[in-house]
């Protein structure tokens, strides 16, 4: 490909501006700014999503999988897609890196490792209740704790008696300190070291968390609705709507030994124990993945280390399909064919 001097200068400027990003866009074109199969290959964005950044909280954005040899731009949502790989929604229902749907109930008021790798750990705090006559807790994800290098970050929902769309139900902590992120679409906070960024993807209750070159986490807060309560007979009390997180993860690079309730499904040779054809395939592992707190790296199968890991460590590149708009699916998540 021949690049004119003016275009070359534009590319250099764009690469400089987007140094913390893997992709850049100019008008309705997109390209990858890091070496890989799509490096500097300009591609036109689909007509339905011409922009890299959304024009409103509900619009999709143009996205290019920089590790794919096809180099075809796609549309993606910036809010969690609960019917795509990397999702953790409902009570809670996961979709693994292998595209298989499974449920992990854990236990109310306890913490479990969702992902544990050499340079990243993501824990979740579960909330829930056990109606009389039930043998297990109904649970939902109330908070996420993220450990990377020697830093910590947590995001959690605040308790609400009644759900109010006009109230922001999110609380943030960075390295143990309260963090205020102003409400508003595209309101953004970034750490001094530029090693974590949080961007609001709607006026309230939705954010995108990015640890550059490590992970991207789309988060949305929702209540347990009266309809969900009626269908599942949760018996939600009148003084708590059980506000919880809908989450979708995208990983840039994981080791082949990655662990965790969700992380293990990204292992190259993982055999998912979820039974096919079952309406709610439940997968266990509570004892293996239970942690003592939201920001604890200790669990039976955890191996995160705050010490910098050498690039020579065994790593397997994970295709970053996690937030693509996979439209071939049924309502309950089965039938997905966006596979690695």
- Using an 8 Å Cβ cutoff, are 120 and 266 in contact? no
Q: Which of 1-5, 50-54, 59-63, 302-306 has the lowest mean pLDDT?
A: 1-5
Residue 17 has pLDDT above 60, yes or no: no
Q: How far apart are CA 236 and CA 338, in angstroms?
A: 35
* 143-152, 182-191, 286-295: segment of lowest average pLDDT: 182-191
Are 23 and 252 spatial neighbours (Cβ–Cβ below 8 Å)?
no
- Per DSSP, which regions of 117-205 are E strands? 120-129, 138-148, 151-157, 170-174, 177-179, 188-190, 197-200
Pairwise CA distance, residues 218 & 208, whole Å: 5
C-alpha to C-alpha distance for 120 and 318, rounded to whole angstroms: 14
184-190 average pLDDT score: 90
How many residues does the structure list for the chain?
340
Higher pLDDT pick, 229 / 25: 229
pLDDT in tens, 24-63: 655 578 888 776 788 888 889 988 888 887 777 677 888 8
Give the pLDDT mean for 56-80: 80
Residue ranges covered by each domain of the chain: 24-76, 87-291
Top pLDDT among 4 and 114 is at 114
What is residue 214's predicted lDDT score, i.e. its pLDDT?
A: 94
pLDDT given for residue 107 in this prediction: 96
Per-residue confidence (pLDDT) for residue 295, from 0 to 100: 98
pTM: 0.81
* Helix, coil or strand: residue 246: strand
What's the rounded Cα separation, in Å, for the pair 88 and 245?
Answer: 8
């Amino acid at each position: 490909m021949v690049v004119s001097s003016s275009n070359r200068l534009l590319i250099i400027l764009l690469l400089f501006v987007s140094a913390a990003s893997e992709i850049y866009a100019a008008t309705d074109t997109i390209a990858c700014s890091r070496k890989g199969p799509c490096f500097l290959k300009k591609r036109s964005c689909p007509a339905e999503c011409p922009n890299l950044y959304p024009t409103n909280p509900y619009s999709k954005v143009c996205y290019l999988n920089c590790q794919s040899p096809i180099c075809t731009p796609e549309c993606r949502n910036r809010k969690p897609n609960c019917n795509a790989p990397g999702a953790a929604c409902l009570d809670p229902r996961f979709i693994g890196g292998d595209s298989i749907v499974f449920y992990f109930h854990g236990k109310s008021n306890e913490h479990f490792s969702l992902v544990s790798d050499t340079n990243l750990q993501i824990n979740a705090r579960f909330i829930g209740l056990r109606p009389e006559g039930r043998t297990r807790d109904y649970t939902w994800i109330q908070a996420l704790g993220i450990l990377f290098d020697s830093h910590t970050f947590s995001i959690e929902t605040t308790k609400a008696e009644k759900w109010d769309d006009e109230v922001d139900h999110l609380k943030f902590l960075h390295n143990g300190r309260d963090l205020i992120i102003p409400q508003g679409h595209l309101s953004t906070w970034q750490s001094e070291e530029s090693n974590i960024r949080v961007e609001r993807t709607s006026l309230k209750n939705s954010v995108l968390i990015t640890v550059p070159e490590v992970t991207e986490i789309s988060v949305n807060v929702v209540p347990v609705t009266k309809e969900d309560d009626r269908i599942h007979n949760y018996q939600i009390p009148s003084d708590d709507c059980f506000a919880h997180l809908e989450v979708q993860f995208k990983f840039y690079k994981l080791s082949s030994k990655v662990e965790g309730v969700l992380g293990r499904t990204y292992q190259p040779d993982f055999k998912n124990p979820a039974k096919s054809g079952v309406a709610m395939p439940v997968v266990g592992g509570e004892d293996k993945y239970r942690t003592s707190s939201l920001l604890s790296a200790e669990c039976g199968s955890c191996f995160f280390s705050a010490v910098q890991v050498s690039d020579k460590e065994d790593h397997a590149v994970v295709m970053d399909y996690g937030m693509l708009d996979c439209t071939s699916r049924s309502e309950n998540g089965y039938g997905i064919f966006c596979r690695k």
